[in-house]
Amino acid sequence: MKTIVPALLNESKDKLVILDQTLLPEQEKFLELDKREDIWEAIKKLRVRGAPAIGISAAFGMYVCSNKIETKDVAAFKKEVKELKEYFATSRPTAVNLFWALDRMWTRFEKEEAAGKSVDEIKAAFLEESEEILVEDQKMGEAIGKYGLELLKPGMGLLTHCNAGGLACSGIGTALAPMYAGQDAGYDFKIYADETRPLLQGSRLTSYELYKAGLDVTVICDNMASIVMRQGKIDAVLVGTDRITANGDVINKIGTSGVAILAKEYGVPFYVLGPYSTVDLNTPTGNDVEIELRDSDEIGNGFGRRTAPVEVKAYNPAFDITDNKYVTAIITEKGIVKPPYKENLEKLFKG
Ligand code: MRU
């Protein structure tokens, strides 16, 4: 299958090209960005979104913007690059991939600096590092797809929440990766996509990319997950993640934890799929993660139409915390992790 790469460099490698996901499914429009404020805004406003894609965009943003810095003095260059890193880090708080990618670029800077490299050489290293992050992400999606498929059988009904496909990453995604792998293997899955209130990533993005790739996908409203499980239409839930903490708690799009609790009630396995860049062993539990609060207008004035009186307050946390006890397994590019998560995540990912 062919998926869209949501964030990459243009041909002359001086601009970040992103697919503006706020316009989907109506319009496929690419934006070319080279100003730090525009890249920051694109991440903040979810023009590019999904944990790995945010990380990739931030890494390319670091390269594109630092490449325009004119000084040849390494110390002066370093000061500006550090400011850039800190600026991009303020765009969104929850997906750890953003900080992971920025730290990775910074580590590369320090390595090149320690080796006595010039500003131009450091810029070339930045290009290399950001491109490696993209390629690595594509390979991780393939591996996650392969491991995920081991847990599934032909003809199964699968439920997913939000969008954790190619549009959230750079290849076949994470939660959607086994669905694409299954398509290649002739598995004929029946996929249900939660619409994912309030920004509808499930109906606008997941159904869009799965349909375009030729998979059998049906959109349901978030509050229909219980009835489709009760009716026996769902054999497994597959979701992506913005952060997996050391104890195996999962931070993902708001509504994920409700689906997990329902899945337990109905005896449906609940699988979380993500790459190592989403595993955060430095944060002990989900309660230690900052949950992004977004504009109340996303609820009260969604997509340009008032859906609640203007005087009424709306509370809009963008993510929730799924307790590890609801997670049947975590599927990564390194293999399938089962409880106890603290020990098993450490075994696979420490160092
Ligand atoms: O707010 P978004 O659209 O960036 O949220 C995205 C999600 O919650 C995804 O499920 C998550 O990032 C996993 S992406 C592989």
Ligand 1 centroid vs 116 CA: distance in angstroms? 39
Ligand 1 centroid, distance to 333 Cα (angstroms): 18
For residue 189, is pLDDT > 90? yes
> What string of DSSP letters covers 228-286?
HHHTT--SEEEE--SEEETT--EEEETTHHHHHHHHHHHT--EEEE--GGGEETTS-SG
What's the alpha-carbon Rg for the chain, to the nearest Å? 20
What are the φ and ψ backbone dihedral angles of 44, each rounded to 5 degrees?
-60, -45
> Helices 119-149 and 51-67 meet at what angle, rounded to 10?
170
The position carrying tokens 């109340």 is: 296
Nearest CA among 167, 173, 215, 168 for reference residue 192? 215
Ligand 1 centre and the CA of 242: distance in Å? 6
Rounded CA-CA distance 303/300 in Å is 9
Instruction: Give residue 254 CA to ligand 1 midpoint distance, Å.
Output: 10
Please report the atom of ligand 1 found closest to the CA of residue 241: 13
Q: Is the dihedral of CA 244, 218, 137, 15 positive or negative?
A: negative
Mean pLDDT of 10-28: 96
| 69 phi, psi to nearest 5 deg | -70, 130
CA gap 339, 235 in Å, rounded: 20
What is the rounded average pLDDT for all residues in the chain? 97
Beta-bridge mates of residue 332: 335
- The residue whose CA has the least distance to atom 6 of ligand 1 is 50
- Provide the phi-psi class of 255: left if phi over 0, else alpha when psi is between -120 and 50, else beta: left
CATH T-level fold of 142-350: Rossmann fold (3.40.50)
Q: Which residues sit with their C-beta closer than 6 Å to ligand 1?
A: 46, 49-52, 95, 162, 164, 168-169, 173-174, 201, 240-242, 252-253, 318
14 is catalytic: no
> For residue 4, what pLDDT is reported?
79
pLDDT at residue 180 in the model: 98
The answer to whether residue 1 scores a pLDDT higher than 70 is: no
Which pair of structure tokens corresponds to residue 246? 């050391």
What's the number of CA atoms in the CB half-sphere (13 Å) around residue 188? 3
* Region 100-109 average pLDDT: 98
Q: What is the DSSP string of 84-118?
A: HHHHHTTS-SS-HHHHHHHHHHHHHHHHHHHTT--
Tokens of 46: 């979810």
218: nearest Cα among 233, 231, 199, 230 = 233
5 confidence band (pLDDT: 50, 70, 90): confident
The residue to mutate among 253, 259, 330, having the most atoms of ligand 1 within 8 angstroms of its beta carbon, is: 253
Q: What is the pLDDT of residue 2?
A: 60
List, in order, residues 6 or more apart from 207 with CB less than 8 Å away.
Answer: 25, 193, 217, 218, 219
Question: How many angstroms is it from 17 CA to the middle of ligand 1?
Answer: 19
Residue 199's identity, in one-letter code, is L
230-283 pLDDT tens trace: 999 999 999 999 999 999 999 999 999 999 999 999 999 999 999 999 999 999
- Closest-lying ligand 1 atom to the alpha carbon of residue 201: 3
Q: What is the pLDDT of residue 340?
A: 98
pLDDT band (50, 70, 90) for residue 297: very high
Lowest-confidence segment of 3-7, 147-151, 290-294, 315-319 by average pLDDT: 3-7
Q: Considering 194, 242, 280, 320, which one is annotated as catalytic? A: 242
pLDDT in tens, 69-93: 999 999 999 999 999 999 999 999 9
pLDDT for res 223: 98
Q: Give, for ligand 1, the residue of 18, 241, 333 to mutate: max count of ligand atoms closer than 8 Å to Cβ.
A: 241
| SS3 assignment, position 147 | helix
Average pLDDT over residues 299-309: 93
CATH of segment(s) 7-140: 1.20.120.420
Substitution site in 163, 272, 295 for ligand 1 pocket (most atoms within 8 Å of beta carbon): 163
Closest ligand 1 atom number to CA of residue 318? 1
* Percent of residues, the chain, with pLDDT higher than 70: 99
- All structural domains of the chain with their residue ranges: 7-140, 142-350
